[in-house]
Amino acid sequence: MKKETRIKLPQHALDFAIKVGNARYAKSREQGVVDGKVATDATFIDQNGAAGEVAFLILLLNYGLMDEAVFLGNLTEIARIAVRSAVAGTDTGDIVLQKGGTIDVKTTEYQSGSLIVLPKKLSNNVDGYVLMKGSVNHGVFVFGGWKDREGVRKVPPSDPRGIGVYSHWLSAPLLNDIDKGEDSGMHPLVLREDIWQM
């Protein structure tokens, strides 16, 4: 799967992501987590993050990099609402891969966006990081690339926005394609509305 691979989420998958995002937002506020990012709609960040995870998961299935059972297991895990912390060691990533290993999906609404990982979120429980670009408002997402944990760690933290927050910033040229898989179109399982019930 090459960088810049696009996917339009089916409406029922988009609705699922919005419900998951809303539930995540509510659970986080219930547990005292404060908004770390600024958005016009406070729930947008969580909705968009869930949609990016769903988009990447569907791409893995469409490209034959994941079977149906692993796909459904990941979908169940995305729907499980829990506050996870890399610092506390409870964040084990967003997606479990077919042959093991975990991926943390980072989503930005900006097409020129970078993969940004805070040093405190560089977890030993996560094997790699994926950048998805897109907006839950439009339902179209683009695979921006991926990098393994050690590759992210090698990029020195910086503060390009000048706001005092140092992160590992990886622009598109620093991210990798997934050198496997072939697009077989939208997998029939994704089109079944019953799997998207929460």
pLDDT tens digits along 36-93: 555 557 789 999 999 999 999 999 999 999 999 999 999 999 998 776 655 555 567 8
pLDDT at position 107: 97
Average pLDDT rounded to a whole number, residues 148-177: 94
Lowest model confidence (mean pLDDT) among 5-14, 58-67, 114-123, 168-177? 114-123
Q: By C-alpha distance, which of 66, 75, 68 is closest to 97?
A: 66
Bridge partners (DSSP) of residue 8 are 140
Say whether 8 sits in a helix, a strand or coil. strand
* CB atoms near residue 85 (< 10 Å): 12
| CB-CB contact of 7 with 184 (8 Å) | no
Q: What token pair was written down for 20?
A: 């998951």
**Residue 84: what pLDDT?**
63
Q: State the pTM of this model.
A: 0.90
Helices then strands, each counted (H, E), the chain: 4, 7
Arithmetic mean of pLDDT, 13-20: 96
